[in-house]
Amino acid sequence: MAKQKEKQSTSTKQSKKRTKKNKHQKKHVKIRYGRIVIALLILLCVGIILYHTLDLSIRNIYVKNNHVLTDQQVIERAQLEDYPSTFEELSFFIESRLEDDIMIKSAHVEKDGLFSVTITVEENRPLFYDVNKNKVILLDGQTTDGNYVVPTLINYTPDKLYQKLQKKLAELDMVILSRISEIEYNPNEVDQSRFLLSMTDGNYVYLSLNQFQKINSYLDIMKTFQNKKGILYLDSGEYFRILEN
């Protein structure tokens, strides 16, 4: 009987210890939500104060790969001309605004730290001015108004050839395109896809659509003729007829 009482006593003591231990563990598990809320409110207030007191506006804007549009025009199209807060202007929204512009095919925006933004654009550059449409034809075939330094297509061109002409002009080096003053559809009995190009340096070039890429070598070709003035025939062979003064 004594041993049974001792066992019961020992069991009771162990049970009490477990109960105390469980109570102690429960106290550690308890989360003080009130303190967490207060801490979050303090952090929020500090953040608001810093936002309104510190100058976090964009300070440097770099524009790359633009040839037709100026840096300032790109910045204005991005709506960054007032150098707003860096936190208000996410890269995605800047890109979206730029790509909504007819003159920009695509845009990529990177933020270099908190205060600098780099904008890289691919322009939907103008190819030529069509006198019949009284419009500037862009790289993707869209039309726009505006005063751009581009060749002028001075006469009617059949639709199929017109589309091919657009593609051929899009493939030209920009330096060469800028040297073409006028484009005239000028077919003959042999070639229905022949054009006459008037160059800004006073020369003329006959060119067929299926040989149009030859004009990219224009500067090198003219050097062989000692930069004399005349008519360059690239539609059939490659020869030069000097014009008399």
**Sequential DSSP letters for 108-160:** EEEEETTTEEEEEEEE--EEEEETTTTEEEETTS-EE-S-----EE-S---HH
What is the pLDDT averaged over residues 206-222? Answer: 94
- The share of the chain scoring above pLDDT 90, in percent, equals 62
**Each residue of 127-171: pLDDT tens digit?**
999 999 999 999 999 999 988 999 999 999 999 999 999 999 999
pLDDT tens per residue across span 20-53 = 555 555 555 566 667 777 878 888 777 666 555 5
Does position 116 have pLDDT exceeding 50, yes or no? Answer: yes
**Residue 87: both structure tokens together:** 């936190």
173 burial via Cβ count (<10 Å: 0-12, 13-18, 19+): middle
pLDDT above 80: residue 69: yes
Q: What percent of the chain has pLDDT over 70?
A: 82
Under 8 Å between Cβ of 58 and 117 = yes
* Mean pLDDT to the nearest integer, 76-104: 91
Of the listed ranges 4-13, 56-65, 72-81, 167-176, the one predicted with least confidence: 4-13
pLDDT at 146 (0 to 100): 86
Provide the CA 83 distance to its chain's centre, in angstroms: 19
The full set of domains in the chain, from first to last, is: 60-123 (3.10.20.310), 126-242 (3.40.50.10960)
User: pLDDT at position 12, please?
Assistant: 52
Mean pLDDT of 69-77: 96
Phi and psi at residue 223, in whole multiples of 5°?
-65, -35
pLDDT of residue 108: 97
Residue 146: beta bridge partners? Answer: none
Residue with token string 């512009």: 101
For residues 8 and 2, give the distance between their C-alpha atoms in angstroms, rounded to a whole number.
10
Question: Average pLDDT in the 2-28 region?
Answer: 51
**Does residue 9 carry a pLDDT above 70?**
no
Which pLDDT score, from 0 to 100, does residue 163 have?
A: 95
pLDDT of the residue at 84: 86
Mean predicted lDDT score pLDDT of the chain: 86
